[in-house]
Chain A
Amino acid sequence: DQQVKQNSPSLSVQEGRISILNCDYTNSMFDYFLWYKKYPAEGPTFLISISSIKDKNEDGRFTVFLNKSAKHLSLHIVPSQPGDSAVYFCAATFNQAGTALIFGKGTTLSVSS
């Protein structure tokens, strides 16, 4: 059973608008969450993370929100740009270095100009 779920396989957004990618998790013991971005024929690259002691983390156009009670996190991209078109993976882990990341299946974001 998947512990990290990204229920939307794809999302299409117009340039300049907001992209919201969602992620749900089932294990309440997870306490660190990450978003990775992946372009075709490349490995995933780290985008942004959030610890469970926070409910928001912002880095430029990217903001991650965490709702622990709902076991839900989301990634907001504002404004969206065509170069943001990629597969976005949500990942969760325990707040202990060297532990594996548990990934969702990814959401493909397409930003049209």
Chain B
Amino acid sequence: DAGVIQSPRHEVTEMGQEVTLRCKPISGHNSLFWYRQTMMRGLELLIYFNNNVPIDDSGMPEDRFSAKMPNASFSTLKIQPSEPRDSAVYFCASSFLGLFTVTDTQYFGPGTRLTVL
């Protein structure tokens, strides 16, 4: 398997522009997580989906952030409008949640490094 795929790997944009980050989870996985990594806050969860349904979005910083998962193989994280403080590395992770799964291992993509000027 190719693992979790994220695009783009790097994004540089100007303040006020819309930014869309993309993620393709591992085939067969049914849980998808978006994390953000910054120096100040480390790795923090933004939102997670199970079977394409958002389960917990309490980590989404504000209304400028939105995430969708239209099908099992694709998710987007959108920032509109972007601000310099959004500069960070954004990771997508996926896992399999089965009927008898107690805890699942999350597999991370390589991340998207976002710079907002």
Using a CB–CB cutoff of 8 Å, the interface residues on chain A facing chain B are 2, 32, 34, 36, 41-46, 49, 51, 89, 93, 95-98, 100-106
User: Which residue on chain A has the smallest CB distance to residue B58?
Assistant: A100
Contact B43 A97 (CB under 8 A): no
A-B contact count (CB 8 A): 66
Does any Cβ of A come within 8 Å of B75's Cβ?
A: no
For B56, the chain A residues whose CB sits under 8 A away are 100
With beta carbons under 8 angstroms apart, the residue of A41, A43, A95 that contacts B91 is A43
User: Which residue on chain A has the smallest CB distance to residue B104?
Assistant: A97
Among B13-21, B62-70, B77-85, B108-116, the stretch that binds chain A is: B108-116
Does any Cβ of A come within 8 Å of B4's Cβ?
A: yes
Interface size on B, residues (CB 8 A): 30
For A51, the chain B residues whose CB sits under 8 A away are 103
With beta carbons under 8 angstroms apart, the residue of B59, B98, B110 that contacts A42 is B110
Rounded to whole Å, the gap between the CB of A62 and the closest CB of chain B is: 15
With beta carbons under 8 angstroms apart, the residue of A46, A102, A105, A106 that contacts B105 is A46
Given pairs A43-B109, A46-B106, A98-B55, 20 additional interface contacts (CB within 8 A): A32-B103, A42-B110, A43-B111, A44-B108, A45-B108, A95-B102, A96-B103, A97-B98, A97-B101, A97-B103, A98-B95, A98-B97, A100-B45, A100-B56, A101-B33, A101-B106, A103-B42, A105-B41, A105-B42, A105-B43
